[in-house]
Amino acid sequence: MSTVGDPTNLRPLRDLPDAVRQRLVEWASQALDAATPTEIPSTLTRFARFAPAKRAKLAAAALIAALQSDPAFRSFVAGRAAQPTTDATGAIDAAGQDPIGAAARAVLLRLPEQDDLLAAAVTVSQRSDDRARVGQLEKQLRALTGRLERAEADLRTATARAAEPGSSDQESELKRRLREQGSRIRELQQRIDTERATAEAELARVSAERDRAAAEIDVWRERMAAAEARADAASQNVQRLRESAGDRRAASDRRLELLLGALEGAASGLRREWDLVGGGPLPGDVVAAGLPQRSGDAARTSDPSRLAAWAAMPGVHVIVDGYNVTKTGYPELSLSEQRDRLVRTLAAFAARTSAEMTVVFDGAAVAAARPAGRGIRVLFSPPGVIADEVIRDLVRAEPVGRALIVVSSDREVVDRAAADGARTAASAALLAVLGG
């Protein structure tokens, strides 16, 4: 069964031709008899107990609105419409025999040929109207013919009495009426002939358009079938290529694995043959030990570019005095907003530099949740402990020789960090690097 999509993508049913809209109302009305209580929209519950004909008459607007806005009800009606049904006259409604039913079904199922079918339904509806008008004219013709026959009978009666004195005036009146009736009959016959010719021409045109549309639909269906066949063939080719590529990749990986195993065995054999002994200082450490120690000023900076270069060093750990930086950069914000902003910008900085990043806040008066920062460590000092002491413990916990950067403008924090071997940078330098 075809499903019905989003109602915003459905053609507005109130704009459909009257005959197609009426057919949808009849189908929806009949479908309510077969629907379970859970399948009946709430707007149609009070009409469910009506007979289908009465329901279609009194609830037409509600039925159309339900078809437009309720996808489940429209799908239910579409499922019933996809099978041959009987119309209001009891005749079988089969595709190709009832253009109005075919158009209504195409709208419900959103078939690609619905525009052509709607055009054909409009033409058929107009043709039906023309036939009804021709029938009315023929009825009028029969009435006028009867009147003419009665007038002729009156004329014959009047002719029989023509020999009687005083009958000439009545005979003249009857002849006048007879001429008038004859003129009206001729005019009506001409109108009937014209209407019949017009209806026949329109019928021929519609039949030709319907045949052309059917031929085009068949062509498009053949094209679609061919496209589906090509798509299936392409999918099978892709699958075969993937399987073949997977086999080749597995074979290549196995060859590389064997080669690496051979290289590892050769390296291990060379170590054993040469009796290599690990350990000892690295050459760079030997050279560095012979250099004079740098002065304290060389490990301190307020230059943003120098701080950025330090932060790009491999394995560096950046420790930030949180409130010292935020109160330097954006003291107008609340403490919570200061923390969130700093953590957010430090997380981006850490992502750019791959540096280990730790920010420490005084936590004595903080009851809020810890701000989230991807790839960044956020610490709050415990009660009775200030952030300066946590920063000092972080610096002393690091191994000697690791690159450490402490960011603060607090003189005591800077001096302690420098004494423990860490590089230090001013809060203003970090704010410039962060862009805030």
The pLDDT confidence band at residue 290, using thresholds 50, 70 and 90, is low
Mean pLDDT value of segment 334-343: 93
Highest mean pLDDT among 44-53, 170-179, 198-207, 354-363: 354-363
The pLDDT confidence band at residue 95, using thresholds 50, 70 and 90, is very low
Task: Name which residue leads in pLDDT, 435 or 88.
Answer: 435
Percentage above 70 pLDDT, the chain: 83
pLDDT over threshold 60, residue 385: yes
Q: Please state which of the ranges 41-45, 86-90, 126-130, 134-138 shows the lowest mean pLDDT.
A: 86-90
Cβ 203 vs Cβ 106: under 8 Å? no
Residue type (1 letter), 111: L
pLDDT over threshold 70, residue 162: no
Of all residues in the chain, what percent are helix, strand and coil, respectively (each to 5)?
70, 5, 25
C-alpha torsion angle, residues 210, 211, 212, 217 (rounded to 10): 90
pLDDT value of residue 287: 67
Q: Please state which of the ranges 22-26, 223-227, 251-255 shows the lowest mean pLDDT.
A: 223-227
pLDDT value of residue 93: 46
Report the alpha-carbon distance of residue 250 to residue 253 in Å, rounded: 5
Task: Name which residue leads in pLDDT, 38 or 324.
Answer: 324
What's the whole-model pTM score? 0.36
Q: How many other β-carbons are positioned within 10 Å of the β-carbon of residue 126?
A: 15
pLDDT over threshold 90, residue 428: yes
Report the alpha-carbon distance of residue 357 to residue 377 in Å, rounded: 6
Highest mean pLDDT among 7-16, 69-78, 320-329: 320-329
pLDDT value of residue 308: 93
pLDDT value of residue 378: 93
Highest mean pLDDT among 1-15, 132-146, 361-375: 132-146
Q: For the chain, what is the mean pLDDT?
A: 81
pLDDT value of residue 303: 93
The pLDDT confidence band at residue 21, using thresholds 50, 70 and 90, is confident
Residue type (1 letter), 345: T
